[in-house]
Homo-oligomer: A and B are copies of this chain.
């Protein structure tokens, strides 16, 4: 590639699974779609399987590969470390990257427990680098519109938030145990799915003061492996429900399940205020439903389509109705990250915000376990 007058920004990516590839795709697309203020270089890819690391590096356009993730972090050309490994590795990798003074882009959840999350946040704050956590759904341009509508008062004073994130990939009682079934890996419906919804609730409505909750393990044992007669005990939540009290006075409900049949990516919510109601379902990610109480014309819920009036959408499609896909939300996340690194924006959740999401999830966990209302600030 030719010389660029722009400063280099070197990316090091750890992990070559589905999410690793999604990151690679997003970095490539960001480079093509946006006029970046840097020369974004895909420097290094790390995977414990050296052969796979090298093969993916080649296919995905990275300059080199590492089998040891620490080597990637130490690579002087790497300015930004992207972490897409299993949850329990987020902490050591992010801490190492922070200690090396590098920007960190970590998949959610931030960590597998609150103590780790706190330490990651305080270290990031001390080091002063840019951090971002992969609550990618927030980067949906139409949710940017939703937030803007809320902040501009188009819904009036917010009165309620009702949110649900359900999928059904664990709906089959014969679905086997996996690391997602372990607390020590931040498994369970609440951590795996619900945390996205909590991040969304905070993004749209703000801080939650207190919660009451109920969690249940519906299938208390599952096959150890697919089709295996061996059974493993499951202690994690299959479904979690909560009541939420927001700091701004809004009230509402939270639902999270990974065994609700029929749902594949049902991150959904309704926000209602004294002036109107907005609703959204991630399974139709390019649409909002909006009802305006004092509509000057006809009365009724309206389907708003994502369109080029939203900058993030315009980067990809020239007209409404053309639709962004899941991966483009990731590209927008990468773009927000690069903007932040270059001092050009503050979009997207950093470690501080991700810690708040973890704290809120932890409060729900306590509330469910102890069957009582819990102040989030006490966690």
| Chain A interface (Cβ < 8 Å from any Cβ of B) | 1-2, 4, 18, 21, 24-25, 28-29, 31-33, 35, 58-61, 159-160, 162, 164, 167-169, 171-173, 212-214, 216, 218, 238-239, 241-243, 245, 251-253, 255, 257, 259-266, 270, 272-277, 282-285, 290-293, 295-305, 307, 316-328, 371-373
Contacts and interface: CB of A to CB of B under 8 A. Distances in A.
Contact of A327 (B218, B316, B371): B316
Nearest to A215: B251
Contact of A214 (B18, B212, B275, B372): B212
A303 B305 contact: no
A180 to B, nearest CB: 13
A25 to B, nearest CB: 5
A141 to B, nearest CB: 12
A58 B2 contact: yes
Contacts of A262: 272, 276-277, 291, 300-301
B293 A172 contact: yes
Contact of A325 (B32, B239, B324): B324
B261 A291 contact: yes
Contacts of A259: 159, 272, 274
Given A291-B261, A321-B264, A323-B325, A162 B164 contact: yes
A62 to B, nearest CB: 9
A135 B241 CA distance: 27
Contacts of A168: 293
A255 to B, nearest CB: 6
Contacts of A274: 171, 173, 218, 259
A317 B328 CA distance: 11
Contacts of A28: 28-29, 32
A260 B160 contact: yes
A338 to B, nearest CB: 14
Contacts of A60: 32
A326 B306 CA distance: 12
Contact of A264 (B24, B218, B305): B305
28 contacts: A25-B29, A159-B238, A159-B260, A169-B319, A212-B371, A214-B245, A214-B251, A239-B251, A243-B243, A253-B253, A259-B274, A260-B270, A261-B292, A262-B277, A265-B320, A265-B322, A265-B323, A266-B321, A297-B297, A300-B304, A300-B305, A316-B327, A317-B325, A323-B325, A325-B325, A325-B328, A371-B373, A372-B372
Contacts of A373: 371-372
Contacts of A31: 59, 61
A316 B305 contact: no
Contact of A282 (B275, B301, B321): B321
Contacts of A305: 264, 283, 299-300
Contacts of A21: 32-33
Given A243-B241, A321-B264, A302 B304 contact: no
Contacts of A255: 162, 253
A142 B298 CA distance: 13
Nearest to A273: B261
A305 B305 CA distance: 19
A49 to B, nearest CB: 17
